[in-house]
Amino acid sequence: MIYLDNAATTWPKPNQVTEAVAKSMKYYGANPGRSGHKMAIRTSEKVYECRELVADFFGLSNPANVVFTQNSTMALNFAIHGILKAGDHAICTVMDHNSVLRPLFAKSPDVDVSYLGADSEGVIDPSELEALIRPNTRLVAMTHVSNVCGTVTPVEDIAKVCRQHGILFLLDASQSAGIIDIDMQQMKIDLLAAPGHKALYGPMGTGLLCINTDFELAPIMQGGTGSYSKELTQPLELPDRLESGTLNLPGICGLAEGIRYINRIGIANIREHEAKLTAYLLDGLSRIKDINIIGKKNTLGRTGVVSFTHNSKDCVDISSYLSSNFSIATRSMYHCAYKAHEALGTSDGGTVRVSLGVFNTLSEIKILLYALKNMM
Ligand SMILES: Cc1ncc(COP(=O)(O)O)c(C=O)c1O
């Protein structure tokens, strides 16, 4: 199989990730933070080890500010619902995923939401942000990289404006964590949501909320934390404040190995590999009759998430053809980001999305281009 659906979740996972998951079931089978026996202590140490790795990876000084979630959606919901109160105003962009758009919309009419626009290549102009800011703007939330077309958001410019106005900045790093270097302190990112299962190469069922602010998020979930058991109120300290219930220990052990894997290869090398394949793919697509590349046409300001349409063929039919005849996995139609499709001019039918990962090779891209060229 040629797997080109890495924006949905990466596959395959590095061997060390699958091995760590299996090993955790055998040797770290206790509930961390709940009991004082040897295996429980060993398991708690494993969880802390992963927190430290994540904190280090995103430039956070305190590992306690790393909250484990099931996915990026859960992390975004924890942040959005934990921050916004009635009377607040929030800003996001038209390039955002439903994991940002829907929780924000769910707060209406108590919370007003404004949308920063994008051009036909998915580019956001940070100078347009100031005009949307109101005295009651509490949160700016947006994606780092478009999951539709791979366009990169100018995060540092946006974050600077947010700091100047004392507004919290939440970055949806679902399509960037593990692909673009992120230092939350340097880049002035207050909150970061990331999936463990995409470009961090951890298992599905893992996600992260990283917190770089003193703002005390209201927990949207309460329950057992193994701490302050006599109290009926949720503990105030992080991560317990937001981390109720039993953790996904096998997932966390796998995620730790995913991060170690990336650290060993180096993000710069991962980026270089993806850029090389993306350049080849874009060039090849631009030469195929009737195919239109959506978003940026070269590798500047974009990642290896590449969308295209066809002048006469339906996107779903193209993905089915690729899967049935060549075992090539892509995704088609709308990618949980309809406003982005409107901005990109693909609201009528969506796109075929090819998304690259660290294990893809040039010969796989060549087969994809051959398949598309020979489509009847
Ligand atoms: C930009 C973006 N945000 C959020 C998500 C949601 O991620 P998860 O599936 O981990 O909840 C995705 C998933 O594709 C995404 O691409």
Q: For the segment 161-197, what is each residue's pLDDT rounded down to a tens digit? A: 999 999 999 999 999 999 999 999 999 999 999 999 9
How far is residue 336's CA from residue 173's CA, in Å, rounded to a whole number?
A: 15
Q: Across residues 20-37, what is the average pLDDT?
A: 94
Provide the pLDDT confidence category of residue 34 given band limits of 50, 70 and 90. confident
Percent of the chain's residues with pLDDT above 90: 99
Helix (H, G, I), strand (E, B) or coil at 277: helix
Q: Are 92 and 108 in contact (CB under 8 A)?
A: no
Strand order in the sheet with 351-355: 291-294, 305-310, 351-355, 331-333
Does pLDDT of 10 surpass 90?
yes
- CA–CA distances in Å: residue 71 to residues 81, 122, 181: 16, 25, 20
pLDDT score, position 33: 87
Residue 253 confidence (pLDDT): 98
Tell me how far the alpha carbon of residue 97 lies from the centroid of ligand 1, in angstroms.
Answer: 7
Give 73-113 pLDDT, tens digit per residue. Answer: 999 999 999 999 999 999 999 999 999 999 999 999 999 99
Distance 114 CA to ligand 1 centre (A): 21
**Segments in 58-154 forming alpha helices (H):** 72-83, 98-106
Domains in the chain (CATH in brackets) are 2-10+266-373 (3.90.1150.10), 15-265 (3.40.640.10)
Which residue do the tokens 């007003």 mark? 112
In the beta sheet, which residues pair with residue 352? 308, 332
Tokens 């281009």 locate to 369
Atom of ligand 1 nearest to the CA of 73: 11
Pocket, ligand 1, Cβ cutoff 6 A: 7-8, 71-73, 97, 99, 143, 147, 172, 174-175, 195, 207
Cα of 96 vs centre of ligand 1, distance in Å, is 10
pLDDT, position 328:
98
| CA-proximal residue: ligand 1, atom 15 (nearest) | 174
Q: What is the pLDDT of residue 293?
A: 98
Per-residue DSSP letters for 296-364?
-SSSTTB-SEEEEEESSS-HHHHHHHHHHHH-EE-EEE--S-HHHHHHHT-TTT-EEEEE--TT--HHH
pLDDT at 191: 98
351 closest CA partner among 306, 321, 289, 308: 308
Question: Average pLDDT in the 312-321 region?
Answer: 98
As a whole number, the mean pLDDT across the chain is 97
What one-character-per-residue DSSP string does 256-268 give? HHHHHHHHHH-HH
Ligand 1 center from residue 80 Cα (angstroms): 15
